[in-house]
Amino acid sequence: MKLSQRLAIGLFLAFTLCPMSTITYAENSIFSKIDSNQKQWVGKPAPNFKLQDQNAKWHELSQYKGKWVVLYFYPKDDSPGCTQEANQFKSLYPQFIKNNAVVLGVSLDDVQSHQKFSEKLGLNFPILADENHQLAEQFGIVRNLGIVKIAKRETFLIDPQGIVTYHYSSVNTQTHAEQVLADIQKIK
């Protein structure tokens, strides 16, 4: 096997088996810039969507009219940071419900991947499969890492009338769910 082939295989395995290090590096460099697609959403109606969750149930933004919607995008099922963030939302989900809010996780992974991830963590909220990248592209947060596309770790807080109230472009997976919950409680 040629050196270039070994290098290509090694890089493929590194990106496949070590998504957290790749994503962490990427978020600290090329992903830290907010483009005009992202800034445009605060104060405007959120785009409607129709996506399936981990149980193949369809969800549309319009079905949540009258509730706060936490639409949190994450890069990859079962990666360390995404697991931590999902567990934070899971533990606080009853508090979100008490505050008239629904949490919807979204990544570019498929329904089957979401089903495994959800079962492993015992998630109590929907995670939506944006396999065609349509919703993530509308929000301007699809990132191409060469061999794979991911959604950047960002959250959009949508008010009960469907208006984007907050855009969290810098997310700490350990404290983000608490921050979003506190913001809902503050402005509600």
Rounded mean pLDDT, 171-178: 88
Rounded mean pLDDT, 16-43: 46
- The continuous run of DSSP H or E covering 36 comes out as helix 36-39
**pLDDT single digits (tens) 67-80:** 999 999 999 988 88
Q: Of 169, 174, 178, whose CA–CA distance to 151 is shortest?
A: 169
Helix 19-27 and helix 3-17, axial crossing angle in degrees, nearest 10: 80
From the candidates 70, 71, 82, 181, which is the catalytic residue?
A: 82
pLDDT in the model for residue 147: 86
Instruction: Judge contact between 54 and 127, C-beta under 8 A.
Output: yes
pLDDT band at 12 (very low <50, low <70, confident <90, very high): very low
Q: Given the structure tokens 């088996």, which residue do they identify?
A: 17
CATH of domain 3-187: 3.40.30.10
pLDDT band at 1 (very low <50, low <70, confident <90, very high): low
> Picking from 8-12, 37-41, 81-85, 183-187, which range would have the lowest pLDDT averaged per residue?
8-12
Rounded mean pLDDT, 165-176: 88
Q: Of 46, 22, 13, whose CA–CA distance to 149 is shortest?
A: 22
Q: Is 18 a catalytic residue?
A: no
Instruction: Judge contact between 24 and 137, C-beta under 8 A.
Output: no
Confidence (pTM) = 0.78
Instruction: Judge contact between 85 and 72, C-beta under 8 A.
Output: yes
pLDDT at 170 over 50: yes
pLDDT band at 2 (very low <50, low <70, confident <90, very high): low
Q: Mean pLDDT highest for which of 18-22, 72-76, 82-86?
A: 72-76
